[in-house]
């Protein structure tokens, strides 16, 4: 292995872009082997600025850029130290620290200079004074404990790196600011998705503090000529079509903008009114599965709600009070006998859910146990199944779905709100208990309706009794 010459190190210090192409992007500079414009700009300003903030969409290559800046600093500043952190230890290990390993393993000079380990990178020449350290904290740590994790020895050349900074508290940045007060050359770099209108990234980009920072604004907007080429255009267009250009999800994850508000309603009164005015014909929906959403309650203020839907039409929900599991199951089975359901979706977390599910199993009715809090979602942009179902219901209402003209449905449909989950950028719908605490009653009716969207709509099985033999009846509680 060969150490880089003094001449080469000096060139790398003055021209970090050259460093990137020498050690990482070797070979012909094709579309897949060159820096984006924003990356070139960041590497070019790195020698002359001490504060860099990257406000980014999803997937533009910010982790690659952070790794390159760290190794350029370490390679060209003798006895330098780097302290790197992220919102979680897993994120730091799986993201930035893995990318650093790729850089070191892929270049003979870097491999000769540095030794990589799971929590530390050291210069082989002087491992005790020339290093980079991965810092994290327990999930239960307070903001002050998180800040303490960045405490370390002072050095003439020090670099602080905050990855996924959107969820990092102000106390951490305060600790970094203290580290910038000493030394010959001390720098801080932070990068993340702009998920919140508060915190270090927001202040660096949108307040009077901006004058202290070089801010790289990185977008995946397919209509922006300066967009990151690493963000797939097809994905960006799909997200815009699915959620709309003005939605917070698109603003943050596609455009790299701060959301206009942290919490938003899924549906407005006008959206619900338009849905209630639709009158689909039987051929529009009879092809689709007949479904029943079941949100159970035992006694007290909460209600058990049975909400029937078939394709693009939903009928008036049946609201039951003070019913036990046997009575709930009996009502479902009576409805099924009159007009068979292809799928009965039961909220598995409901008080009476176990007894209802047992009765359905014994009767042979096709049912689904729905775990709303499950974070293993079929659509990764959502935090849990509750969010998946609510947004599928939203798309149905905004598209072609016909809600029943029912004042209780209209009232509850506009209640749920959503936000962007801290750090991950995943969409989260406000929890049912929070809504109950705020409103004084639980939105059982709308939750029951959303349960009919636990899986996408599917064609109906043709061997069910009554299918295509008689018109589908409107189900009521009469």
pLDDT tens digits, one per residue of 97-115? 999 999 999 999 999 999 9
Please, what sign has the CA dihedral across residues 285, 288, 289, 295?
negative
- What pLDDT score was predicted for residue 469? 32
Residue 361 lies in a domain: yes
pLDDT score of 474 more than 60? no
Number of domains in the chain: 2
Same-domain check for residues 214 and 286: no
- What pLDDT score was predicted for residue 462? 58
Same-domain check for residues 336 and 440: yes
Residue 246 lies in a domain: no
C-alpha dist (Å) from residue 382 to 398, 418, 478: 19, 10, 38
Range of the domain at 302: 263-451
Average pLDDT, the chain: 87
Same-domain check for residues 149 and 286: no
Residue 225 lies in a domain: no
User: Do the Cβ atoms of 278 and 402 come closer than 8 Å?
Assistant: yes
Average pLDDT over residues 140-158: 74
Same-domain check for residues 331 and 210: no
pLDDT score of 466 more than 50? no
Residue 427, CB-side half-sphere exposure with 13 Å CA sphere = 30
User: Do the Cβ atoms of 66 and 218 come closer than 8 Å?
Assistant: no
User: Do the Cβ atoms of 52 and 165 come closer than 8 Å?
Assistant: no
CATH of the domain at 390: 3.30.420.240
How far is Cα 79 from Cα 131, in angstroms, rounded to an integer? 8
Residue 182 lies in a domain: yes
pLDDT score of 334 more than 90? yes
Same-domain check for residues 280 and 197: no
Average pLDDT over residues 448-467: 79
Q: 75-89, 158-172, 445-459: lowest mean pLDDT where?
A: 158-172
The Cα diameter of the chain in Å comes to 88
Same-domain check for residues 276 and 213: no
- What pLDDT score was predicted for residue 276? 92
How far is Cα 405 from Cα 476, in angstroms, rounded to an integer? 12
User: Of 218, 235, 252, which residue sits at a domain end?
Assistant: 218
How far is Cα 31 from Cα 451, in angstroms, rounded to an integer? 45
Token pair recorded at residue 114: 């540095």
Q: Which pLDDT band holds residue 470 (cuts at 50, 70, 90)? A: very low
Q: Which residues are CB-neighbours of 78 under 8 A, at least 6 positions away?
A: 130, 157
Helices (H) and strands (E) in the chain, counts: 20, 17
Token pair recorded at residue 122: 């050291």
pLDDT score of 478 more than 60? no
Q: For the chain, what percentages of helix, strand and coil (3-state, to nearest 5) are there?
A: 40, 20, 45
pLDDT score of 473 more than 60? no
For the chain, the straight-line distance linking the first and the last C-alpha, in angstroms and rounded, comes to: 84
How far is Cα 158 from Cα 77, in angstroms, rounded to an integer? 9
Token pair recorded at residue 54: 């990257």
- What pLDDT score was predicted for residue 298? 55
Residue 399 lies in a domain: yes
CATH of the domain at 12: 3.40.50.300
Same-domain check for residues 211 and 275: no
Average pLDDT over residues 425-441: 80
User: Do the Cβ atoms of 308 and 403 come closer than 8 Å?
Assistant: no
- Work out the percent of the chain whose per-residue pLDDT is above 70: 89
User: Do the Cβ atoms of 157 and 184 come closer than 8 Å?
Assistant: yes
Q: Which pLDDT band holds residue 464 (cuts at 50, 70, 90)? A: very low
pLDDT digits (tens, 9 = 90+) for 365-397: 999 999 999 999 998 889 999 999 999 999 999
The single residue listed with the structure tokens 């479904």 is 291
Residue 251 lies in a domain: no
Token pair recorded at residue 316: 């008036």
pLDDT score of 300 more than 80? no
Residue 243 lies in a domain: no
Average pLDDT over residues 117-141: 88
Same-domain check for residues 179 and 298: no
Same-domain check for residues 164 and 269: no
pLDDT digits (tens, 9 = 90+) for 14-73: 999 999 999 998 866 666 678 999 999 999 999 999 999 999 999 999 999 999 999 999
pLDDT digits (tens, 9 = 90+) for 182-222: 889 999 999 999 887 778 888 888 777 888 999 999 999 99
Same-domain check for residues 271 and 167: no
- What pLDDT score was predicted for residue 477? 36
How far is Cα 111 from Cα 3, in angstroms, rounded to an integer? 9
Residue 79, CB-side half-sphere exposure with 13 Å CA sphere = 8
Residue 245 lies in a domain: no
pLDDT score of 475 more than 50? no
- What pLDDT score was predicted for residue 22? 93
* H/E segment holding residue 134: strand 131-135
How far is Cα 141 from Cα 150, in angstroms, rounded to an integer? 13
Q: Which pLDDT band holds residue 437 (cuts at 50, 70, 90)? A: confident
pLDDT digits (tens, 9 = 90+) for 393-425: 999 999 999 999 888 898 889 888 888 776 677
User: Do the Cβ atoms of 352 and 325 come closer than 8 Å?
Assistant: yes
Same-domain check for residues 281 and 164: no
Average pLDDT over residues 272-289: 93
User: Of 165, 199, 218, which residue sits at a domain end?
Assistant: 218
Same-domain check for residues 15 and 156: yes
How far is Cα 62 from Cα 54, in angstroms, rounded to an integer? 8
Token pair recorded at residue 200: 């270090």
């Amino acid at each position: 292995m060969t150490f880089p010459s003094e001449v080469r190190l000096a060139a790398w210090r003055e021209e970090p872009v050259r460093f990137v192409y020498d050690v990482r992007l070797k070979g012909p500079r094709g579309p897949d082997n060159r820096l984006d414009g924003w990356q070139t700009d960041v590497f070019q300003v790195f020698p002359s600025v001490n504060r860099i903030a990257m406000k980014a969409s999803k997937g533009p290559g910010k982790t690659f850029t952070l790794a390159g800046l760290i190794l350029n600093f370490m390679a060209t500043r003798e006895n330098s130290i780097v302290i790197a952190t992220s919102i979680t230890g897993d994120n730091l290990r799986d993201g930035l620290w893995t990318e650093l390993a790729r850089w070191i393993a892929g270049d003979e000079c870097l491999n000769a200079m540095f030794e990589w380990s799971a929590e530390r990178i050291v210069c082989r020449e002087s491992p005790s004074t020339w290093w980079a350290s991965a810092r994290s904290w327990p999930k239960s740590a307070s903001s002050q404990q998180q800040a303490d994790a960045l405490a370390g020895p002072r050095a003439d050349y020090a670099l602080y790196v905050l990855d996924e900074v959107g969820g990092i508290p102000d106390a951490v940045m305060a600790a970094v600011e203290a580290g910038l007060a000493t030394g010959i050359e001390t720098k801080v770099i932070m990068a993340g998705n702009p998920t919140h209108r508060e915190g270090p990234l927001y202040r660096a980009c949108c307040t009077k503090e901006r004058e202290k920072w070089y801010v790289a604004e990185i977008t995946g907007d397919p209509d922006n000529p300066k967009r990151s080429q690493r963000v797939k255009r097809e994905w960006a267009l799909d997200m815009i079509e699915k959620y709309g250009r003005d939605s917070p999800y698109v603003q943050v994850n596609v455009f790299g903008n701060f959301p206009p508000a942290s919490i938003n309603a899924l549906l407005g009164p006008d959206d619900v009114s338009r849905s209630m005015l639709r009158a689909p014909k039987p051929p529009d929906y009879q092809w689709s599965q007949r479904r029943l959403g079941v949100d159970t309650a035992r006694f007290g203020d909460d209600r058990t709600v049975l909400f029937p839907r078939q394709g693009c039409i939903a009928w008036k929900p049946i609201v039951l009070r003070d019913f036990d599991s046997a009575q709930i199951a009996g009502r479902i089975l009576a409805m099924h006998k009159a007009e068979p359901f292809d799928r009965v979706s039961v909220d598995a977390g409901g008080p009476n859910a176990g007894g209802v599910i047992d009765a359905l199993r014994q009767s042979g009715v096709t049912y689904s146990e729905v775990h709303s809090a499950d974070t293993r979602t079929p659509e990764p942009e959502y935090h849990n199944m509750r969010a998946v179902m609510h947004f599928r219901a939203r798309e149905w209402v905004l598209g072609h779905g016909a809600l029943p003209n029912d004042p209780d449905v209209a009232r509850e449909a506009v209640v749920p709100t959503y936000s962007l989950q801290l750090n991950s950028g995943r969409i989260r719908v406000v929890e049912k208990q929070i809504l109950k605490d705020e409103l004084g009653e639980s939105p059982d009716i709308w939750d029951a309706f959303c349960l009919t969207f636990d899986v996408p709509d599917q064609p109906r099985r043709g061997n069910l009794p009554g299918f295509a033999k008689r018109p589908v009846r409107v189900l009521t509680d009469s």
